Amino acid sequence: MSDVDVMAALVLQHSTARVQDRWGDWKSHYVTESSAKKSAEALYAAGFRLTVDDTDRTQNSRLDELERRLVRLEGWAGLPL
């Protein structure tokens, strides 16, 4: 499954619009599969990417640094490691 397919599925799942007609009634309009695919392709062409791996790597490096600092503090304070 490509990034475009995943983004199209997300657009299809989360895109709705509530519109009030001229009589004051509210109606829900949903995105079709073809329009979700076109909007996902446009987002992909504009530079939006699914970057889960980059986020995970950054978060893991921050957690490793925090753990390293905690170990240093525990050793300095004489706490059991």
- Look at residue 77 in the predicted model and tell me its pLDDT: 64
Q: What is the mean pLDDT of the chain?
A: 81
pTM over 0.75: no
The domain locations on the chain are: 1-49, 51-81
48-55, long-range: CB < 8 A, 24+ apart: 48/7, 49/3, 50/3, 50/6, 50/7
- Look at residue 52 in the predicted model and tell me its pLDDT: 58
Burial of 9 (0-12, 13-18, 19+ CB in 10 A): middle
